């Protein structure tokens, strides 16, 4: 039927592509992914709560607001004043990334004077305070080695590839790095050195000279361990120095060339990857809320019809929640949007179907859920199944990758006997 997509066939395509070792394969993990790692803690009343290890952007925005707002209407903080100004300008319910971009836009205008009653120092101090608060909130460790990040790392390491795995992320945390290191997966992230590793643009642009065994990790929105030192050098360090500023969510604005450089370099890696012949990119936890990233994705896909992107979203295909994602998928043939209940494939919206229900037992990692309803059809009791493909749950996606890596490892061992 025209309004259906065969779930077994699509899972087969996805599994086969992720098992490739000859073509460029990449994974893009965004803000929704850390939500899949849950931690059991106790609240103030001693009751157990199941919280995400790191909140999403909305949760992070709320946490930051509680920590740096003054709580006193008579003596509002700079943060309070900024939100009031933004609302007056029609920018309502802004998340922390939009707030940071607004601060940096105002800095560009302020120069050595003032803008909207903020001095340059006010804006610099507020920027630093927000970034320091973000760093404290997302500086967490994975609780064990059974997380989806470890599944991703195991898959990245498993195959003897002709082309390296590329991992893109908009997250500032260090969860991906932790998993890659604990799985023993070699990776290059644009920095060279140990104590205070320095960002090497030349090495980033010429990363193809590295062996394909090395995964590439590209942190598009910066990282909590990226710093700009007093000499305007971009370094990666775990040392905390008040003289160094954080490189979190580098803005596209040209307010500071040294901050702009890694942001544009990371975006170039994304564009270069999608433009590679027969490339395949798998996106998880991204709601297509960043127009700069969306533009690169869509323009690159249109320029390279041999590329394909599967974007897995969490939950059902709701127009209000995923309006931008739906618009992007409907405008581009080689961008497939995979939701729990439906998918947009080849610009066509369709619900999931399965011609032979017994095939559901051949789909790995419990990524497909179904409900059975028995109805009367022409006087005969008939079983009707409703299917969901839940690869948009990063936990299940990580398990899926881990199973693929285990299968490829077994095949390699058998062929070596």
Least confident of 154-158, 236-240, 287-291: 236-240
User: Cβ contacts of residue 239 below 8 Å, gap of 6+?
Assistant: 196
Query: Which is nearest to 253 in space by CA: 122, 381, 369, 98?
Result: 98
User: What is the model's pLDDT at position 255?
Assistant: 42
Q: Which helix (H) or strand (E) holds 302?
A: helix 291-303
Q: Are residues 132 and 155 in the same domain?
A: no
Long-range Cβ contact pairs of 293-298 (< 8 A, separation 24 or more):
293/170, 293/220, 293/267, 294/324, 294/328, 296/267, 296/270, 296/271, 297/270, 297/328, 297/335, 298/328, 298/331, 298/332, 298/335
CA R_g for the chain? 23
Tokens encoding 123: 């804006």
Considering the domain architecture, whether residues 180 and 80 belong to the same structural domain is answered as no
Same-domain status, 131 and 159: no
Q: Are 339 and 354 in contact (CB under 8 A)?
A: no
In the structure, what pLDDT confidence band is assigned to residue 238 with cuts at 50, 70 and 90? confident
Examine the domain organization and report whether 145 and 129 are in the same domain: no
CATH number at residue 9: 3.40.50.1220
Provide the domain limits for residue 177. 4-38+140-356+388-416
Q: How remote is the C-alpha of 388 from its chain's centroid?
A: 22
Picking from 118, 138, 158, the residue at the C-terminal end of a domain is 138
Q: Which helix (H) or strand (E) holds 103?
A: helix 96-110
Q: What is the pLDDT of residues 354-413, one digit of tens each?
A: 999 999 999 987 999 999 999 888 888 888 999 999 999 999 999 999 999 988 766 655
Query: What percent of the chain has pLDDT above 70?
Result: 91
243 and 337 fall within a common domain: yes
Kindly state the percentage of the chain with pLDDT values over 90: 66
Q: Are residues 148 and 117 part of one domain?
A: no
Question: SS3 sequence, 231-293?
Answer: CCCEEECCCCCCCCEEEECCCCCCCCHHHHHHHHHHHHHHHHHHCCCCCEEEEECCCCCCHHH
**Domain ends where: 89, 104, 138?**
138
Whether 381 is covered by a domain: the verdict is no
Strands 165-169 and 215-219, by their bridges, are parallel
pLDDT computed for residue 324 by the predictor: 96
> Is the per-residue pLDDT at 94 higher than 80?
yes
pLDDT confidence band for 415 (50 / 70 / 90): low
DSSP for 33-94, written as a single string: GGGGSEEEEE-TTS-EEEEESS--HHHHHHHHHHHH--S-TTS--HHHHHHHHHHHTT--S-
**Band (254; pLDDT cuts 50, 70, 90):** very low
Residues 180-194 have pLDDT tens digits of 999 999 999 999 998
Query: Confidence class of residue 110 from pLDDT cuts 50, 70 and 90?
Result: confident
Residues 148 and 210 in one domain: yes
User: Is 70 exceeded by the pLDDT of residue 85?
Assistant: yes
Structural domains in the chain (count)? 2
C-alpha span between 326 and 337 (Å, rounded) = 7
pTM: 0.91
Task: Indicate whether 365 belongs to any domain.
Answer: no
Whether residues 237 and 290 fall in one domain? yes
Does the pLDDT value for residue 416 go beyond 70? no
Q: Which of 103, 138, 173 is the last residue of a domain?
A: 138
CB atoms < 10 A from the CB of 136, how many?
13
Over residues 235-258, the mean pLDDT reads 67
Is residue 361 in some structural domain? Answer: no
Are the CB atoms for 247 and 227 separated by under 8 Å? yes
In a domain, 296, yes or no: yes
Q: Do both 219 and 326 map to the same domain?
A: yes
3-class DSSP state for residue 366?
Answer: helix
Q: Is 278 a residue whose pLDDT tops 90?
A: yes
């Amino acid at each position: 039927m025209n309004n259906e997509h065969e779930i077994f066939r699509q899972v087969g395509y996805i599994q086969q592509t992720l098992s490739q070792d000859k073509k460029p394969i990449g994974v893009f993990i965004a803000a929704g992914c850390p939500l899949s790692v849950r931690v059991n803690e106790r609240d103030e009343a001693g009751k157990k709560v199941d919280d995400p290890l790191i909140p999403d952007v909305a949760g992070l925005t709320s946490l930051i607001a509680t920590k740096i707002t003054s709580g006193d209407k008579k003596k509002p903080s700079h943060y309070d004043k900024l939100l009031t100004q933004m609302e007056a300008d029609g920018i309502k319910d802004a998340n922390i990334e939009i707030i940071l971009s607004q601060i940096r836009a105002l800095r560009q205008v302020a120069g050595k004077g003032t803008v909207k009653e903020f001095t340059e120092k006010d804006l610099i101090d507020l920027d630093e305070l927000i970034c320091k608060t973000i760093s404290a909130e997302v500086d967490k460790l994975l609780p064990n080695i059974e997380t989806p990040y470890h599944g991703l790392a195991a898959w990245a390491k498993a195959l003897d590839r002709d082309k390296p795995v590329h991992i893109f992320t908009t997250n500032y945390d260090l969860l991906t790095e932790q998993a890659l290191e604990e799985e023993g997966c070699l990776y290059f992230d644009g920095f060279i050195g140990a104590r205070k590793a320095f960002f090497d643009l030349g090495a980033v642009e010429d990363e193809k000279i590295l062996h394909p065994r090395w995964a590439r990790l590209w942190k598009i929105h910066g990282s909590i361990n990226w710093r700009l030192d007093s000499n305007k050098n971009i370094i990666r360090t775990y040392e905390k120095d008040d003289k160094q500023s954080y490189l979190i969510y580098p803005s596209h604005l040209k307010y500071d060339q040294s901050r702009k450089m890694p942001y544009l370099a990371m975006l170039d890696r994304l564009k270069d990857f999608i433009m590679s012949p027969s490339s395949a990119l798998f996106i998880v936890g991204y709601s297509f809320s960043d127009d700069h990233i969306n533009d690169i994705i869509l323009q690159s896909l249109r320029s390279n019809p041999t590329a394909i992107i599967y974007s897995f979203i969490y939950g059902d295909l709701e127009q209000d929640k995923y309006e931008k994602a739906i618009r992007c998928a409907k405008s581009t043939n080689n961008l497939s949007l995979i939701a729990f209940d439906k998918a947009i494939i080849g610009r066509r919206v369709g619900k999931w179907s399965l011609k032979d229900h017994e095939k559901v037992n051949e789909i790995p990692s419990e990524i497909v859920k179904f409900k059975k309803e028995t109805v009367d059809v022409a006087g005969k009791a008939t079983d009707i199944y409703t299917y969901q493909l839940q690869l948009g749950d990063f936990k299940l996606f990580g398990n899926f990758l881990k199973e693929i890596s285990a299968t490829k490892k077994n095949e390699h061992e058998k062929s070596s006997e």
